[in-house]
């Protein structure tokens, strides 16, 4: 699974559609600490030819999107349809895919890192908000009135970020908090998928998460997710539910699928690289070479060195 930074975020969504990437970058683009930026979706759509689909990745940033237009948001075992107006609160905890369904798209969105909203002396933590909880939904259908109320806040953000005011980011932080508290009062949209469709969806997302971690291309690249629990948390489902779904759709447990893929990669690295066994073990998430050797022998009936020949 890839991890998208603020810098990569701009490159990923604008690279193919906007040759003049610099127009979207703020003065603190190279700083992940305390980063904030705001965008007009309609302007992006006109300038960049099309509004790109947001790929399914784990992100290092938070995002608040005000949406006008028909769109679909897919995450975990859920598919949420935004028919006309909506607002989305994205967190690094929940990977999702966002897809526009028509060309009539408008609205605004802002991206920011956690350090932009620092932990306060009162004990406030952005992750304690319901809109950013890994246990709750984060997509909300809103009325035209809601849309215009939130739009007003975004318009103030645009005005302020382009100003020369010395303390503009303090003011932008206040506008952001206004959006977050507004979202706290909203009711999440219900998923349109259940049963067999949901099981198929979560299986697809699990496999995508698994495969995004491979291939291992250098000795400094490490597996981010290694255990069933870690995959379940990334998908925002209970580990037992994930295991049940995979047993039904693939016929194997979560642990069996993960182990099989790690073993497959181990074989490739042993045959196609000159890395020593310790380097391969470390890249694949084993803290001890002995643990890796036991794992490999269990799956192949050979030690790593014997297999390498």
The distance of Cα 178 from the centroid of its chain, to the nearest Å, equals 23
Return the higher-pLDDT residue of 114 and 14.
Answer: 114
pLDDT digits 0-9 by tens, 201-249: 788 888 888 988 888 988 888 898 999 999 998 888 899 999 999 998 8
Mean pLDDT (whole number) for 148-154: 97
Q: Tokens 């993960």, residue?
A: 258
Mean pLDDT (whole number) for 293-301: 95
Return the higher-pLDDT residue of 48 and 127.
Answer: 127
pLDDT level of residue 260 (50, 70, 90 thresholds): very high
User: Above 70 in pLDDT, residue 196?
Assistant: no
User: Above 70 in pLDDT, residue 108?
Assistant: yes
Measured on CA atoms in the order 301, 304, 306, 309, is the torsion positive or negative?
A: positive
Over the chain, what is the mean pLDDT? 81
Q: Which CATH superfamily includes the segment(s) 195-308?
A: Homeodomain-like (1.10.10.60)
Domain(s) labelled CATH 2.60.120.280 in the chain stretch across 3-184
pTM above 0.75, yes or no: no
Is 171 buried (19+), middle (13-18) or exposed (0-12) by CB count in 10 A?
Answer: middle
Residue 99 pLDDT: 83
Residue 29 pLDDT: 46
- Whether the bond between 290 and the residue before it is cis, its omega within 30 degrees of 0, is no
Mean pLDDT (whole number) for 112-119: 80
Residue 2 pLDDT: 42
User: Above 80 in pLDDT, residue 94?
Assistant: no
Q: Tokens 């995004």, residue?
A: 212
Per the CB < 8 A criterion, the answer to whether 231 and 209 are in contact is yes
Mean pLDDT (whole number) for 113-117: 83
d(CA 71, CA 81): 6
Residue 78 pLDDT: 72
Q: Which two tokens stand for residue 93?
A: 């905890």
pLDDT level of residue 122 (50, 70, 90 thresholds): low
Residue 54 pLDDT: 55
Return the higher-pLDDT residue of 201 and 288.
Answer: 288
pLDDT digits 0-9 by tens, 4-57: 455 665 665 555 445 455 555 555 544 444 788 898 988 776 665 544 555 545
Residue 56 pLDDT: 47
pLDDT level of residue 256 (50, 70, 90 thresholds): very high
Residue 33 pLDDT: 46
Integer CA distances (angstroms), 257 to 58, 85, 210, 241, 247, in order? 21, 40, 9, 15, 10
Domain(s) labelled CATH 1.10.10.60 in the chain stretch across 195-308
d(CA 270, CA 304): 7
User: Above 90 in pLDDT, residue 83?
Assistant: no
Residue 303 pLDDT: 95
Residue 254 pLDDT: 96
3-184: CATH, from 3.40.50.300, 3.40.50.2300, 2.60.40.10, 2.60.120.280: 2.60.120.280
């Amino acid at each position: 699974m890839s991890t998208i930074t603020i810098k990569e975020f701009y490159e990923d969504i604008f690279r193919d559609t906007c040759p003049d990437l610099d127009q979207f970058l703020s003065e603190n683009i190279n700083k992940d600490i305390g980063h904030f930026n705001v965008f007009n979706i309609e302007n992006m759509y006109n300038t960049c030819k099309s509004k790109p689909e947001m790929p399914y990745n784990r992100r290092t940033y938070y995002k608040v999107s005000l949406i006008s237009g028909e769109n679909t948001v897919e995450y975990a075992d859920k598919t949420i349809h935004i028919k006309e107006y909506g607002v989305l609160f994205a967190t690094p905890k929940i990977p999702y895919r966002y897809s526009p369904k028509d060309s009539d798209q408008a609205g605004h969105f802002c991206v920011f890192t956690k350090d932009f909203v620092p932990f306060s002396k009162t004990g406030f933590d952005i992750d304690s908000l319901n809109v950013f909880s890994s246990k709750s939904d984060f997509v909300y259908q809103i009325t035209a009135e809601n849309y215009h109320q939130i739009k007003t806040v975004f318009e103030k953000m645009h005005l302020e970020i382009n100003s020369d005011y010395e303390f503009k980011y303090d003011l932008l932080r206040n506008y952001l908090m206004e959006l977050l508290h507004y979202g706290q009062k909203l009711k999440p949209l219900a998923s349109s998928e259940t049963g067999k469709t949901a099981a198929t969806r979560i299986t697809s997302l699990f496999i995508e998460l698994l495969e995004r971690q491979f291939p291992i291309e250098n000795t400094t690249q490490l597996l981010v997710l290694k255990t069933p629990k870690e995959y379940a948390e990334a998908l925002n489902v209970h580990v037992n539910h994930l295991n049940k779904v995979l047993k039904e759709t693939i016929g194997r447990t979560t642990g069996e699928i993960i182990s099989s893929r790690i073993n497959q990669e181990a074989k490739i690295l042993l045959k196609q690289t000159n890395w020593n066994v310790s380097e391969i073990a470390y890249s694949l998430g084993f803290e001890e070479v002995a643990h890796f050797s036991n794992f490999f022998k269990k799956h192949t009936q050979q030690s790593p060195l014997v297999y390498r020949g």
